[in-house]
């Protein structure tokens, strides 16, 4: 019996030995790993460098060397031109350690990464906006840093790209005969980027836009600005030549008889009286801001579209214009119809303001439902029409019924003030 027991004991010992944990693999101390990683980065052995810096972060997460290793990991991705991966590392570092001494360097690198991933001016500009955001923070938070001084040319170039974008879109609208839309984009450029290159070109197209729309006074105003502020510009000379040609054409043009002009006016008059004026009287009632048959032009700091979902989002200083109607908001989300490609529903959020002639509405949110023919204003709603004033927490306007429903905040009453006519 003894030999059998001995065998059982030996088997148990062997089993215990086989289940024992292996000794942890030695990865080296963080200082040595860091030096090795830096040397590998210098020799362009990027994959090996990534392993060294990652080893420091994984095995020594609380060691001060782990912070520097994280920045260096971003540098490896940057050297590989893997800018999206570099952005991920730098952004995580910035958000996790906002007061670290390496933050100025990280912000400068972020500005450069976003710059290198930015698309052309006819595409989405969100990366350029991100670059400006990070470089502006660097400039304001660390004005004395050497990285701030080195990044100033890049920041100026990013702002110029946004100005170029507005100029590009404004010129496109002009060439496609969408003069109101062109004016909106170009005037926005003048206001937002007054020191950008290309202002002379913007003034030229603003003059042309207004001339095409018959606003000769405004056309002359922009022309004078162009000639006075940019006398040597090719666009100033182009307008001067154009004016001379117009004078010659006018001198040689055949005189149109009064009878012919009179006939033309008589043909147009019945249409203007019968079709245009009566609808105006009805549309001037209540909250009726919109004319669904008119095109809407929208300007914003950035725009992103999703073709499959038929969804477009406009962000940053959004201005929507439909003739004399203006909608201002921080964000506007628009859902398009698959059949007609027109806006079915739109959501405006943040500092919403709607202005048309003597009617003004303000709220925190607004919903425009074209299918239901409803306009809903939410949160701190104030509607002013002439001397009449309406306030509430939720205001719904039923367009087809020309009916308004006002709800007050809980514990408060809705209020309307109607001045006698």
Which H, E and C letters describe the chain, residue by residue? CHHHHHHHHHHHHHHHHHHCCCCCCCCCCHHHHHHHHHHHHHCCCHHHHHHHHHHHHHHCCCCHHHHHHHHHHHHHHHHCCCHHHHHHHHHHHHHHCCCCCCHHHHHHHHHHHHHHHCCCCCCCCHHHHHHHHHHHHHHHHCCCCHHHHHHHHHHHHHHHHHHHHHHHHHHHHHHCCCHHHHHHHHHHHHHHCCCCCCHHHHHHHHHHHHHHCCCHHHHHHHHHHHHHHCCCCHHHHHHHHHHHHHHHHHHHCCCCCHHHHHHHHHHHHHHHHHHHHHHHHHHCCCCCCCCCCCCCEEECCEEEEECCCCEEEEEEEEEEEECCEEEEEEEEEEEECCCCCCEEEEEEEEEEEEEECCEEEEEEEEEEECCCCEEEEEEEEEEEECCEEEEEEEEEEECCCCEEEEECCCCCCCEEECCCC
Mean pLDDT of 201-216: 94
Residue 297, pLDDT > 90, answer no
Report pLDDT digits (tens) over 300-319: 777 776 666 677 888 877 88
Residue 124, pLDDT > 70, answer yes
Q: What is the pLDDT at residue 275?
A: 41
Question: Which residue in 402, 387, 328 sits closest to 363, CA to CA?
Answer: 328
Q: What is the pLDDT at residue 179?
A: 93
Distance CA 81, CA 75 (A): 10
Q: Are 43 and 51 in contact (CB under 8 A)?
A: no
Q: What is the pLDDT at residue 266?
A: 34
State both tokens at 236: 């100033």
Is residue 45 very low, low, confident or very high in pLDDT (cuts 50, 70, 90)? very high
Mean pLDDT of 56-68: 92
Range ranked top by mean pLDDT from 222-226, 240-244, 403-407: 222-226
Distance CA 1, CA 17 (A): 25
Is residue 169 very low, low, confident or very high in pLDDT (cuts 50, 70, 90)? very high
Residue 22, pLDDT > 70, answer no
Range with lowest mean pLDDT among 64-68, 102-106, 317-321:
317-321
Range with lowest mean pLDDT among 10-19, 35-44, 143-152:
10-19
Q: What is the pLDDT at residue 278?
A: 45
Q: What is the pLDDT at residue 35?
A: 94
Mean pLDDT of 161-186: 94
Q: What is the pLDDT at residue 356?
A: 72
Range with lowest mean pLDDT among 117-121, 270-274, 355-359:
270-274
Is residue 84 very low, low, confident or very high in pLDDT (cuts 50, 70, 90)? very high
Q: What backbone torsions phi and psi does residue 353 show, to the nearest 5 degrees?
A: -140, 130
Report pLDDT digits (tens) over 4-13: 555 554 555 5
Domains and CATH numbers, the chain: 297-417 (2.60.450.10)
Residue 175, pLDDT > 80, answer yes
Q: What is the pLDDT at residue 334?
A: 83
Range with lowest mean pLDDT among 123-127, 385-389, 392-396, 413-417:
413-417
Q: For a pLDDT cut of 90, what percent of the chain falls above it?
A: 45
Residue 180, pLDDT > 90, answer yes
Range with lowest mean pLDDT among 31-40, 274-283, 321-330:
274-283
Report pLDDT digits (tens) over 320-367: 777 667 788 888 888 877 776 677 788 889 888 887 766 788 899 998
Residue 262, pLDDT > 70, answer no
Q: What is the pLDDT at residue 270?
A: 38
Residue 202, pLDDT > 90, answer yes
Q: What is the pLDDT at residue 252?
A: 46
Q: For a pLDDT cut of 70, what percent of the chain falls above it?
A: 72
Mean pLDDT of 172-186: 93
State both tokens at 283: 């549309």
State both tokens at 261: 């002009």
């Amino acid at each position: 019996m003894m030999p059998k027991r001995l065998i059982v004991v030996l088997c148990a010992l062997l089993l215990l030995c086989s289940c024992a944990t292996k000794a942890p693999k030695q990865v080296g101390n963080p200082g040595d790993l860091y030096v090795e990683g830096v040397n590998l980065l210098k020799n362009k052995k990027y994959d090996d460098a990534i392993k060294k810096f990652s080893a420091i972060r994984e095995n020594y997460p609380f060691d001060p060397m782990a912070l520097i290793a994280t920045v260096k990991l971003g540098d490896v991705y940057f050297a590989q031109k893997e800018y999206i991966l570099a952005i991920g590392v730098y952004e995580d570092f910035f958000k996790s350690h906002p007061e670290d001494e390496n933050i100025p360097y990280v912000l400068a690198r972020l500005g450069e990464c976003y710059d290198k991933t930015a698309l052309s001016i006819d595409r989405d500009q969100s990366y350029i906006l991100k670059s400006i955001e990070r470089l502006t923070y660097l400039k304001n938070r660390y004005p004395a840093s050497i990285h701030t001084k080195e990044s100033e040319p890049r920041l100026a170039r990013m702002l110029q790209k946004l100005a170029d974008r507005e100029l590009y879109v404004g010129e496109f609208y002009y060439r496609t005969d969408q003069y109101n839309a062109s004016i909106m984009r170009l005037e926005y450029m003048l206001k937002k980027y007054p020191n950008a290159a290309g202002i002379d070109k913007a003034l030229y197209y603003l003059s042309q836009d207004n001339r095409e729309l018959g606003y000769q006074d405004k056309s002359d105003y922009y022309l004078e600005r162009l000639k006075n502020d940019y006398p040597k510009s090719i666009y100033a000379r182009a307008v001067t030549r154009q004016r001379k040609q117009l004078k010659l054409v006018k001198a040689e043009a055949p005189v149109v008889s009064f009878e012919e002009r009179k006939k033309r006016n008589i043909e147009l008059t019945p249409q203007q009286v019968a079709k245009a004026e009566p609808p105006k009287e009805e549309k001037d009632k209540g909250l009726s801001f919109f004319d669904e048959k008119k095109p809407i032009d929208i300007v914003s700091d950035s725009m992103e579209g999703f073709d499959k979902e038929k969804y477009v989002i406009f962000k940053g200083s959004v201005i929507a214009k439909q003739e004399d109607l203006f909608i201002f908001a921080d964000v506007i989300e628009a859902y398009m119809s698959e059949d007609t490609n027109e806006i079915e529903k739109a959501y405006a959020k943040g500092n919403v303001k709607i202005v048309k002639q003597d009617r003004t509405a303000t709220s925190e949110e607004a919903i425009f439902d074209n299918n239901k023919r409803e306009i809903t204003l939410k949160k701190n709603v104030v509607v002013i029409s002439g001397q009449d004033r309406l306030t509430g927490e939720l205001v719904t306007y039923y367009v087809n019924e020309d009916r308004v429903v006002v709800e007050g905040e809980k514990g408060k009453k809705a209020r309307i003030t109607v001045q006698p006519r």
